[in-house]
Amino acid sequence: MEFLESLAPLEPFFALPLTQAPPSVKAALQPLIDMRETLWRKGVQITFFGGFKAGKSTLLNAIMGWPLLPARTNRATGVITRVLYAPQASGSVIRRTADGSAREEHILLDEIGKYVFLDLSGPLAKAPTDVETVLIRLPLPLLKNGCVLADTPGLMDNQALTERCYREVERSDLAVMVLSAVKLFSDEERAAAQRAHDLLRGNVAFIVNRLDMIDEEDKEELLGWAHTSLEGLGNTLIGRPAVFASEAKGALEARKGGQQQDNAVAGLRAFEQWLEGLLNSPIIEKVVVRSRLGILEYHLASAGATLQAQLAEAKKAGAELERQETAALTHRQAQFRREVDDVLLGLSLFKSNLGGLSENFTYQCVQGTQDLIDCDERWATKEKLRLCFEAAIVGYASKVNQRTRLEVENLIVPIPIFDPGTKGTIEVGTIRDSSAKLAVGAGMVLNTWLESGLVKPMLVNWITRSLLTRDTRHKLLETARQGALEILPALRREAELYLEYVATLVRDYGQSHLPTMEPSASLLAARQIEEYYQGLVNWMNEFQQAFDNIK
């Protein structure tokens, strides 16, 4: 068929590998991938379908002129049977093995029933589990041009068999719905006819069978009602609608007896002549194109809808995981900011309360001076007095450092040591000036003697006790206190500058170390799944575009 060449742009899309695909993807796409075989099939498949016990098998037997397909009142077809052309009559079955491969096995024609009949031993009718298809090959002239006739399980018997029937219709170029004249066109049959019509773009014909069960005077009225009920089904190529009547059982008996002109054969012969004319007409290619593109369009739409739904589900799952992790990140960032703010607040409060260290600093300066006077006869040297004040400064700095470390202990912030006098306003000269004031009076005299070496060491204690009266000691210590008070403003200013610098370090740390989100393994996996389905949807969209161009 020439139209097959126009399908070449679709070929690459059927190469999509499904071996490692998730079961849901494989289930959605396998029918579409399997369409490759149907699209490029050279023969024409005509599938007979209809309700349970409508007489499909008997009708096909009548067409073949040979009762090969079993047809009994209490037994029914459960396996797809295909009738093909061959110079010699033969039968075989296609078995599906455990590894998924197919194996064809020769059978005797008179044993077809045991491979086709439903198993009715249980509560539900079941088809043979390992038999996929029964093949009958016959030297039937109707089949010479590659035509295949397919018999299907009855519709509405059970869901599994109904779906098996529809899957075979989806492989068809033309579907023939067999209706029983005894119970014509139920709601279920109407729905099945519409489904086949939509799928095959109207390539559906109808045979009203078992007409021999209807009174002669009622036949014309029944067929008229059938035409009216089927109006709108079919198409301009095969008829709108194409309706035929048959008495399959009588036609089979007549042909078995060699009676080709029997009244029972007339209706069947009218269908066969119509079918032969269609198969040998140039319009058969249009019929085939119409049905195959219709089936492909159906599978594209079905698979596309499934993939879109799975992509939406994957996006939803990924978005939910991202929302959860974003919420967790927001919580961590808020907690981190609170920790930083708490540290800054603590530093600010400490800075405001630096005055609490002033009293202790003054006390240490005075106490240090007193201890020096009490224990060191050479206390009046400027160097010793300066060291006394420096010890108090070191103590002040130690308390600042200790409190600062305590405030920032929850943050990993590298902070410098507070070391007053190294870069600030406290200088050695200031302390020396204060120390000099302590050497006034008797202290100055003692200091001068001690430094000149004129006084012997044994006289030092006596001189110290003699010169340092209670009033003199009080004045000296008051001078030390005044010296401490003079140092305090510069010391506090350096402490304030230090705390401000630490606060700046904390703010910078808070900005540079704000927690960020590293996607979890679950989120990364969800994103990969979303990308996978997005890729499939893109593939499907390209497939659809190529199909639209051909259509």
Q: Assign 3-class secondary structure to 244-282.
A: EECCHHHHHHHHHCCCCCCHHHHHHHHHHHHHHHHHCCC
The mean-pLDDT minimum among 79-83, 92-96, 118-122 falls in 118-122
Instruction: For residue 90, give the 3-state DSSP assignment.
Output: strand
The mean-pLDDT minimum among 60-74, 209-223, 291-305, 365-379 falls in 365-379
CA distance 439 to 447: 7
Evaluate if residue 42 carries a pLDDT over 60: yes
Per-residue buried b or exposed e for 306-330, using 16+ beta carbons within 10 Å of the residue's own CB: bbeebbeebbebbeebbeebeeeee
The domain defined by 46-281 folds into Rossmann fold (3.40.50)
What mean pLDDT is reported for the chain? 85
* Eight-class DSSP state of 94: E
Q: Please compute the mean of the pLDDT values over residues 293-298 and round it to a whole number.
A: 94
Beta carbons within 8 Å of 23's beta carbon, 6+ residues apart = none
Evaluate if residue 451 carries a pLDDT over 70: no
Between CA 224 and CA 251, with CA 61 as vertex, the angle to 5 degrees is 50
pLDDT, tens digit (0-9, with 9 covering 90-100), for 364-376? 988 888 887 778 6
pLDDT at 310: 95
Place 157 in a pLDDT band, splitting at 50, 70 and 90. low
pLDDT, tens digit (0-9, with 9 covering 90-100), for 490-539? 999 999 999 999 999 999 999 999 999 889 999 999 999 999 999 999 99
More confident residue, 449 or 312: 312
C-alpha dist (Å) from residue 150 to 60, 102, 171, 184: 9, 19, 10, 22
Place 383 in a pLDDT band, splitting at 50, 70 and 90. confident
Note whether 351 and 390 are within 8 A (CB).
no
pLDDT, tens digit (0-9, with 9 covering 90-100), for 424-439? 445 434 443 443 344 3
pLDDT, tens digit (0-9, with 9 covering 90-100), for 204-223? 999 999 998 888 888 899 99
Evaluate if residue 134 carries a pLDDT over 90: yes
Q: What is the DSSP string of 445-457?
A: HHHHHHHHT-S-G
